[in-house]
Chain A
Amino acid sequence: MTTVEPIRLLLFLVGAASFVGLNAAYLVWVERKSAGRFQRRAGPTEVGYAGLLQPIADAIKLMSKQLIVPPGADRFLFRMAPVMMMPPAIMAFAILPFSEHLVAIDFNVGLIALFAFSSFNVIAVMLAGWSSRNKYGIISAARVVSQNVAYEIPMMLVIITMLLVSGTLSLTGIVEQQAGAFWNWNLFNLAANPLMPVTFIIFFICMLSETNRAPFDMAEAESELVAGAYTEYAGMGFGVFFMAEYANIIIGCALAVILFFGGWHSPIGVFPGVIWFLLKLYLLIFIVIWVRWTFPRTQFYGLLNLSWKILIPVTLFTFLLSSVMIKIF
């Protein structure tokens, strides 16, 4: 370790935190704007040019609001829950390689660490629902846990399949293998697994579910549970959950880019760089938004059925298939 190392890490931390903050704020803008377009409205237009200052106005509004702890709630856990939601999300950014050099820590079990961090949000949401002493919140807490347990399994199976293909847990390593043009990407690595696109779709579904995004937004299903676990949160308490939700989406999509879309490599084989990574990332995020504004919400047991009866068998099958393929070739 050199003397530069701590400074570098600090810089990355600041960078990651501001990246998360900026993205969370502006993804809300993107989401609102594109929701508007999907619904043939204009979206935010008033604050700043094309509503670009809207996130800032929202943040100021949220911060100026009083934090109310409902009577009878577990004060400590109630306050802790949003705090627990955010840091793991930011920490996960330390592992994500944005480009060859733009990565804080490149350690060889990056994939596992990423999952360790991203599992935290379940606990946070559950605590939020549980501690707020609200019946909707409690139902939501129970839903979040069973949903995440159900979806962690196919997600992990997909990851194991990808591990078989790439043979390394290091995120940088995985990306490095996909250098060159787009036919080298894992998504099109049909020699290793002819069902690779299916694997990706399953990964995408699991990712939506893990981040509690529509159509799997069981936790805050507003027509059933009002706002679920977040019902009692006001002001920035809610704001932090909101930001963490977007941070988790970014992490999920970034992971998809790394695993399937060749990370920072350009699709035509020239000029690899962070720009490609971000481009792919935002494209995926747009798809996430697009899905949300197209579909109705799934029913809760439909969601579990989907996981246990369809996704897990299929992932097991693709897993076997790639083992066989790798053995043969």
Chain B
Amino acid sequence: MTDLTPVLSATWDAEQSWKLGTYENAGGYGALKKALGMPPADIIQAVKDSGLRGRGGAGFPTGMKWGFLPPDDGKPRYLVVNADESEPGTCKDIPTMLSAPHILVEGVAITSFAIGCNHAFIYLRGEVVHVYRRLLQAVREAYAAGHLGKNIHGSGYDLDVTVHAGAGAYICGEETALLDSLEGRRGQPRLKPPFPAVEGLYARPTVVNNVESISSVPAIIDRGVEWFTSLGTERSKGMGLFSLSGHVERPGQYEAPLGITLRELIDMAGGMRGGKELKFWTPGGSSTPLFTAEHLDTPLDYESVGAAGSMLGTRALQIFDETTCVVRAVTRWTEFYKHESCGKCTPCREGTFWLSQILERLEDGHGTDADIQQLLDTCESILGRAFCALGDGATSCITSSVKLFREEYEQHVSERRCPFDHAASALFEYETSQATEEAHA
């Protein structure tokens, strides 16, 4: 049995957990003071040695990314925190910033000092106004306490932090689209290379990291590399937030060492809703290939999930029981990708359009067997040909679900309808609504 390890979430149940005082009482900003006494190169080395990998989806080693910045040329370089959290299923950064915004602000200060940045940005999705209030306040409090601003704690180091609200576009989570958006443009991905480390914000060297990656930095500095590497598995070190949603008794945030299994997590979450059977789940958000009950014991680390044919992604565990129609689930995700495709490249723009057309007719029983093959062919023409990872991600749930549940697609064709009762997967009775429907009939 793996123990949970609340580190990022340790203070979330404290009285006014979001306030500076609460955070400082729990030892907050101690790591910043320690870091300011270290040579910046040692901080980068510590983060490299910790094995921390990006928590925003791709899992790129964080310290290595910082190390890619070219040598200081005396001109600005930037840290941009990716707080756009919009990948379906992903719901970890929002509670972090709502409950403990200072852990992020402290992480921003330490990281900025390490990489030689004097102006950092937090790019928050715009659809979470209370989170924005909390971040704005946290930054203001941190300035007043001397954790940000000029000559931080007498170190001679200056840092400004701007918290920026986006305006609704999933693609702005892609790091180069995010930079374009932060520059006041349409959020469309840029051609890489050059990578942001070389030419990022305002064409200057830039580190883009996820909220959870940056929030993990204070603990690494405070408690040390050995402590961090004692958590997790061989190549997936440390702890992370596992976000359980869907058909479990107690959905929510479970902070655990990487390598914990879904079986253990479901057990902690009180089991499947009403004792029903697990049917399928996403290990890392809607862009990661579906898993089934066969993968209950797969260690949730980068390597094991990858070896089993999916991706750890953002540890967004969306869990669906036997009442759920997989065709319905996949159709809805595909409509999402169609809606969010930025339109820059043809395979994704056209492909997601056709995929949702085909899926919509399959779902309501007007599809043919040929449509199923057409889905796979269309996915093939997107995968590897799209300009950014959104296009590839759009194909994951389709190809994996056809592989795992082909007979369910075929059933939609042969029965000319969806064989599932949608009401059975909801959390509440549909009764009243059916009565209304009848009244209208």
Do the two shown chains form a genuine complex with each other?
Answer: no
Chain B residues engaging chain A, CB cutoff 8 angstroms: none
Chain A residues engaging chain B, CB cutoff 8 angstroms: none
